């Protein structure tokens, strides 16, 4: 497969990730991962970008994700903020 630009490569990777996450959805809901004897790594990140590389506060969308060690099952969910209450509700 020949990629003519960095943007093409990014779009291709985005589509691969989207398809993989869709195959893990069960009835349109976020799959449950973890449980007894399984370790799940969880992290939050702010997706967005700065306009013209100016060091103003970054505007974007908070996303919470996790991966189960061993099985490599993953989940991603959009969250309104990263307060302790919000994170606790989604974990």
Three-state SS letters, 42-82 = EEEEEEECCHHHCCCCCCEEEEEEEEECCCCCEEEEEECCC
- For residue 54, the model assigns a pLDDT of 65
Determine the average pLDDT of the residues in 3-12. 80
Domain around 83:
27-90
pTM: 0.63
Q: Is residue 51 part of a domain?
A: yes
d(CA 79, CA 90): 8
Burial of 79 (0-12, 13-18, 19+ CB in 10 A): middle
Q: Is residue 63 part of a domain?
A: yes
Q: Is residue 47 part of a domain?
A: yes
Q: Is residue 13 part of a domain?
A: no
Q: Is residue 3 part of a domain?
A: no
Chain segment 35-70, per-residue pLDDT in tens: 788 888 888 888 776 666 666 666 788 888 888 888
Partnered with residue 62 across adjacent β-strands are: 46, 79
Q: Is residue 17 part of a domain?
A: no
Q: Is residue 86 part of a domain?
A: yes
**Number of domains observed in the structure of the chain:** 1
């Amino acid at each position: 497969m020949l990629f003519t630009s960095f943007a093409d490569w990014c779009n291709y990777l985005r589509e691969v990730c989207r398809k993989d996450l869709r195959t893990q959805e069960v009835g349109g809901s976020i799959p449950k991962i973890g449980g007894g004897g399984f370790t799940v790594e969880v992290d939050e990140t702010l997706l967005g970008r700065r306009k013209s590389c100016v060091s103003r506060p970054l505007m974007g969308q908070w996303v919470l994700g996790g991966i189960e060690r061993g099985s490599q099952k993953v989940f991603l969910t959009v969250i309104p903020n990263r307060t302790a209450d919000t994170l606790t509700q989604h974990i």
